[in-house]
Amino acid sequence: MTILVTGGAGFIGSNFILDWLAQSDEGVIDLDLLTYAGNLDNLAAVRNDDRHVFVQGDIGDKDLVARLFAEYSPRAVVNFAAESHVDRSIHGPEDFMRTNLFGTFTLLEAARNFAATGAPEAGNFRFLHVSTDEVYGSLAPEDAPFSETNRYEPNSPYSASKAGSDHLVRAYFHTYGLPVLTTNCSNNYGPFQFPEKLVPLVIHNALSGKPLPIYGDGKQVRDWLYVTDHCTAIRRVLDRGALGEVYNIGGWNERPNIEVVQTICEVLDELQPRSGGQSYADLITFVKDRPGHDRRYAIDASKIERELGWRPLETFETGIRKTIQWYLENQTWVAKIVDGSYRTWVEKQYA
């Protein structure tokens, strides 16, 4: 038995694979294009593990995806592969449409063909699509958190492309009866997150003595979830979720950005004080706001708790401390991204 994970060299996908292989003997086929966000260093711990088969390739490559289904007959697909960074989608949305929309479509088509083959694994097959709370748009301070029945109101090219992919997944269930599950999750943080996202960027800049950029007034609110909690939730939905259903996943940890950054500074002040006795918070710098910046996201995660018995284990305080400790202990991982040498493996493949 095996599962096909896409985007498994990225932040959440690699955490998921490490967690999966630590808990089960079932193998993983990991299909990842290794864009700038894919990093095989994330998977160093399973490099020599026969249960992990890495395939470099595009989820939008129809022939490749069909070949993987035919060769491995996966009992499930977990689709993490995506362009994931909102700022990049504002500056260049094309890759977001290609991967998030067309790539998901290609995978769904391959899954539909596979499910129709009558292979034994096709009988219990499941397609789990990993999506985001950003598809629901922005909340006012007095609004209730997003529930699964909220209207889709995506505001960035990234969230619009994810919303489109969610709609395709829904359509494949209703039209073709493909056994799908969709999860919409809030902001993740933890080990192996590419240092373009707020938490790892702030940790890295602070340790390098660089400004900590806060967009606008810093009062935008996000709901923070430690990545391992997200992985546990996905596993739970894959095991017990009802086909065709959507599950919101969140940490019950709403925080304004400025508070997130101040907390990181306080923990760093304690764990690795700056020379000269200044606080890292002195590096906080307010910069121009992100265009179309959503003001508030918050997840109502009561459906997954009620129906599948999942709740996050980490609070923001415990999760952020673990995360900072991990970055302090793994500064070479960050340094290889900053100097570009984490790409060496990919470049060798293309040489």
Residues that bind ligand NAD (rule: CB under 6 A) add up to a total of 31
- If one counts every other C-beta atom within 10 angstroms of the C-beta of residue 173, the result is 18
The reply on whether position 34 binds ligand NAD by CB under 6 A is: yes
The position carrying tokens 């499930």 is 76
Select the binding partner of residue 215 from ligand NAD, ligand DAU, none (C-beta < 5 to 8 A, by kind).
Answer: ligand DAU
| Residue of 133, 223, 229, 254 marked active site | 133
The distance of closest approach from Cβ of residue 154 to ligand NAD in the complex, given in angstroms and rounded to an integer, is 12
Q: Angle CA(69)–CA(75)–CA(80) in degrees, nearest 5? A: 75
The reply on whether position 162 binds ligand NAD by CB under 6 A is: yes
**Which is closer to ligand DAU, CB of 60 or CB of 250?**
250
Query: Strand 187-189 and strand 284-287: pairing?
Result: unpaired
Q: Which ranges in the chain belong to alpha helices (H)?
A: 11-23, 62-72, 86-91, 94-96, 104-115, 120-123, 157-176, 198-207, 227-240, 257-271, 302-308, 316-329, 331-338, 344-350
Q: Which of 5, 21, 78, 82 binds ligand NAD (CB under 6 A)?
A: 82
Select the binding partner of residue 246 from ligand NAD, ligand DAU, none (C-beta < 5 to 8 A, by kind).
Answer: none
The reply to whether 158 belongs to the active site is yes
Select the binding partner of residue 336 from ligand NAD, ligand DAU, none (C-beta < 5 to 8 A, by kind).
Answer: none
The reply on whether position 43 binds ligand NAD by CB under 6 A is: no
Enumerate binding residues for ligand DAU (CB under 6 A).
Answer: 84-86, 132-134, 186-187, 197-198, 201, 213-215, 220, 222, 257, 290, 297
Walk across the sheet containing 27-32 and list its strands: 52-56, 27-32, 2-6, 76-79, 126-132, 180-185, 246-249
Q: Which region, judged by CB under 6 A, interacts with ligand NAD, from 1-9, 107-115, 240-248, 340-348?
A: 1-9
Select the binding partner of residue 222 from ligand DAU, ligand NAD, none (C-beta < 5 to 8 A, by kind).
Answer: ligand DAU
The distance of closest approach from Cβ of residue 282 to ligand NAD in the complex, given in angstroms and rounded to an integer, is 28
- Compute, in degrees rounded to 10, the torsion defined by CA atoms 162, 163, 166, 167: -140
**What's the token pair of residue 252?**
């019950």
Quote the CA–CA distance of 82 and 16 in Å, as a whole number.
15
Quote the CA–CA distance of 130 and 165 in Å, as a whole number.
10
The reply to whether 19 belongs to the active site is no
**Which is closer to ligand DAU, CB of 75 or CB of 222?**
222
Q: Which residues are catalytic?
A: 133-134, 158
